[in-house]
A and B are shown apart, each in its own frame.
Chain A
């Protein structure tokens, strides 16, 4: 006898309406099948009224019934709120990324020729690097600017453009270190530019407020970069 057939015969067995051949098969089955025997025992216990079957709802069920809609509503609200915040955060990040796109600073040719040793070779390499830079090919430009000849020259102009390359390569930290060194040295040729581009470093690092302060400081200075810095302040304020 199969278990499902057994289940269907339980009531008949307990009420003794089962026929003899099936009764014997039924009995043989419950001797062998633990699960079916338990089913039979449960039915027997219920039929003998050995159990209490209360119809009242449990208190906790009532509480759940009451709070379930509230729970669902609040979960839904939190979900929507979270989604809105996430969308807003993504939008802010996108806008921040947009305004942190910087223009390549201008440069003057021939200046490096005046370096006493290997001036001409350095100038040639630097010019090549600048060509790459205009095409926004930051890595090849950086490779040239970090070559042995260039490092030995240790010229502020080279350092500044190296920092621009790092900024273009999204290595904001390295760029920031170089700009900080230029700012500390207060080289008049690149001081303002370093301050300006340091603002982009901060933007790339997600420090919106610090970037705004940086641009604002520069905008208030008597500097050729103050106009540009003021424009950046306005752009940052627009996304706030």
Chain B
């Protein structure tokens, strides 16, 4: 499905296209809210608000091309976040169900959890194929929460070496995921 075709289908309320859009952007919106709002466990309402505003905007002709989808969604997410903080102070609740404007019914939180779980599984699988030195660095940095300097002292290498190897290891995993179409 090319961009123009996809956009046309979204305009025509095609459930497959709507599902694909939600699958693509749901994790991004979750990550955005999770990083912006600390101490909150439930982002479901906020995510629904973003998607419902998006589909309403689409029906109102606020977008003309597929290239505007991501910026438009980001703009909505920013506004929803602003409203969240503003309304929270007024003790109001955000209530805008996406099912009113979208054909797809979806548990966004569960979908995001599943997505994360799938990514972890893939990551577990691919990490095993990395060279031992890369695994050692990732283990020390992420699991043991060691600093780059500590790791460099531990294996007698420069900070730059550790930093580059760490980034390359993640890049290798990322490329492998794309190559095998795992994500």
Contacts and interface: CB of A to CB of B under 8 A. Distances in A.
Contacts of B139: 53, 55
B183 A31 contact: no
Interface stretch (B55-63, B67-75, B86-94): B67-75
A51 interface: yes
B84 to A, nearest CB: 15
A13 interface: yes
A27 B120 contact: no
B31 A55 contact: no
Interface string B112-132: 000010011001100110001
A171 interface: no
Contact of A41 (B119, B124, B135): B119
A45 B119 contact: yes
B138 A46 contact: yes
B6 interface: no
Interface residues of B, number: 35
Nearest to B115: A41
Contact of B142 (A35, A40, A53): A53
A132 interface: no
Interface string B137-179: 0110011000000000000000000000001001101100110
Contacts of B32: 27, 31
B160 to A, nearest CB: 13
A20 to B, nearest CB: 11
Q: Is the interface of B mostly helix, strand, loop or mixed?
A: helix
A28 B177 contact: no
A58 interface: yes
Contacts, number: 84
Contacts of A80: none
Interface in B23-56: 24-25, 27-28, 31-32, 35
A88 interface: no
B21 to A, nearest CB: 12
Contacts of B124: 51-52
Contacts of B171: 39
A37 B26 CA distance: 12
Given A32-B70, A34-B24, 6 more contacts: A27-B35, A39-B170, A50-B120, A50-B123, A52-B127, A54-B128
7 smallest beta-carbon distances between A and B, as pairs: A53-B139, A46-B142, A32-B70, A31-B74, A50-B120, A31-B70, A51-B123
29 contacts: A24-B78, A27-B35, A28-B71, A28-B74, A30-B28, A31-B25, A31-B28, A31-B32, A31-B73, A31-B77, A32-B71, A35-B174, A37-B28, A38-B177, A38-B183, A42-B170, A42-B174, A45-B120, A47-B142, A49-B142, A51-B120, A51-B123, A51-B124, A53-B138, A54-B127, A55-B132, A55-B135, A55-B139, A58-B128
